[in-house]
Chain A
Amino acid sequence: MPTKKVQAYPYTSGYPGLLWNVHEHKKAELLGLTVDNQHNAAETVQIYDGFDTDASKAAATGATQAAEYLKLSGVTSGLVRLQVTVPAGETVKLGKDDLEGIEFLGRATAVGSALSSDCVIIAQYRLI
């Protein structure tokens, strides 16, 4: 099972909190998440799902539905699939039962509320 460790980065630009990249033909399941916050303040971690859509047509009207760029436009243009707030000095572990059913269509990126190398985020995931 792939695992990725990152530290808490607030979003500025780029993808410093990248957990896994988008796969052309696969979705992803988050199977485990650990947030070990030894920072001196509470840290809120959001996991973003970034993907671009294909142009399509609205079923009701047949009108063109333009492509949307929830990946290309930056991390925070994506969808927040999970958010957890961890008090200072504590660790939160979410397992398969907590995360069941959370599905990612594209790139997963962790975004923290404050920059800290003392707040570590570890994700286990599976591409399906």
Chain B
Amino acid sequence: MIEVRPVQTIERIAPATRILLVNHWVKFSNKFPDSLDHVKGKAAQILKQQQVDYQLSWTIKENCYKDINLSNEDTGEKLYPDVADNLYEVTIGFKPGNYLCHVFFPADYPIYRLDYPDMSTLISSDSLKYLGAIKPSDSPVDNPIFKLYLLYKLKPVILRLYADDGVDYEKITLDFSINRCLMGFGTPPQQITPKPILYLDEIKWLAAG
């Protein structure tokens, strides 16, 4: 008897975690400034973590913008850790609407820009206001992919929310999922590749870590 059957091709896909979990490792870049020497160049294991959800909304007139400071400054939204051992992995989802979001770090320095001089966002320009802008569809609330790593003493990250022309008024709602992580600094086991955490300036300038 001959049995002919195809070779079994079962694809096993390991579920990928989208947030840091206990026992994960992170490695902070050497490009972090000295003011953040509590993490600069260090590796850390996640010892504990807890997810906290939060929503914030603003209603803005069209062709106007509002700067949202995420830090713990008096005018900020207080979304930063308040102790050196904590890392906040913040995922931001945008509810649908006719608006844009620009990311500045520090204030007045857009993260997303091109190399040619002046090729960075300019909210008063009809064309440059779209350069480097995050649209709600880029990171929707049901599948958010816009993520920030916030640390104690990190300079303020500013989100510039702009209600685009054509709608009179817009209600802008941001869905924050804050993964509070307690870090234990050390040396990761050899078989572990820690998740690299770059300083925001490195992303801005494409500097090597």
> Which residues of A are interface residues toward B (Cβ below 8 A)?
24-27, 51-62, 65, 68, 79, 105-106
With A53-B169, A79-B168, A105-B169 already in contact, the answer to whether A59 and B63 are too (CB < 8 A) is yes
Q: Which chain B residues border A79 with CB–CB below 8 Å?
A: 168-169
Q: Which chain B residues border A57 with CB–CB below 8 Å?
A: 64-67
Can you show 24 pairs from A to B with CB atoms below 8 A apart?
A25-B56, A25-B57, A26-B173, A27-B95, A27-B171, A53-B60, A54-B60, A54-B66, A56-B61, A57-B66, A57-B67, A59-B63, A59-B64, A59-B123, A59-B129, A59-B162, A60-B63, A60-B124, A61-B124, A65-B61, A65-B64, A79-B169, A105-B170, A105-B171
13 new A-B contacts, CB < 8 A, other than A24-B55, A62-B124, are: A25-B57, A54-B58, A56-B64, A56-B163, A57-B64, A58-B63, A58-B64, A59-B64, A59-B123, A61-B124, A65-B61, A65-B64, A79-B169
> In the assembly, what is the distance between CA of A51 and CA of B56, in Å?
16
> In the assembly, what is the distance between CA of A68 and CA of B169, in Å?
11
> For the complex, is B59 an interface residue (Cβ under 8 Å from A)?
yes
User: Closest Cβ of chain A: how far from B149's Cβ, in Å?
Assistant: 25
Nearest CB in chain A to that of B122: its residue: A59
User: Closest Cβ of chain A: how far from B137's Cβ, in Å?
Assistant: 15
Q: Which chain A residues border B63 with CB–CB below 8 Å?
A: 58-60
Q: Which chain A residues border B173 with CB–CB below 8 Å?
A: 25-26
Q: Which chain B residues border A27 with CB–CB below 8 Å?
A: 95, 171
User: Closest Cβ of chain A: how far from B120's Cβ, in Å?
Assistant: 15
User: Closest Cβ of chain B: how far from A38's Cβ, in Å?
Assistant: 35
User: Closest Cβ of chain A: how far from B92's Cβ, in Å?
Assistant: 14
Q: Which chain B residues border A53 with CB–CB below 8 Å?
A: 59-61, 169
Q: Are A105 and B59 in contact (CB under 8 A)?
A: yes
In chain B, positions 48-100 with a C-beta closer than 8 Å to chain A are 55-61, 63-67, 95
Q: Which chain A residues border B95 with CB–CB below 8 Å?
A: 25, 27
Q: Are B168 and A59 in contact (CB under 8 A)?
A: no
* B60 touches which of A56, A60, A106 (Cβ 8 Å): A56
Majority SS of interface residues in chain B?
Answer: strand
* B59 touches which of A52, A58, A62 (Cβ 8 Å): A52
Q: Which chain A residues border B59 with CB–CB below 8 Å?
A: 51-54, 105-106
Nearest CB in chain A to that of B66: its residue: A56
User: Closest Cβ of chain B: how far from A118's Cβ, in Å?
Assistant: 35
The 9 closest A-B pairs by CB, nearest first: A56-B64, A56-B66, A54-B58, A105-B171, A25-B55, A59-B123, A25-B57, A53-B59, A65-B64
> In the assembly, what is the distance between CA of A52 and CA of B123, in Å?
23
> In the assembly, what is the distance between CA of A106 and CA of B58, in Å?
12
Nearest CB in chain B to that of A53: its residue: B59
> In the assembly, what is the distance between CA of A25 and CA of B59, in Å?
10
Q: Which chain A residues border B58 with CB–CB below 8 Å?
A: 54, 56
Q: Which chain B residues border A65 with CB–CB below 8 Å?
A: 61, 64
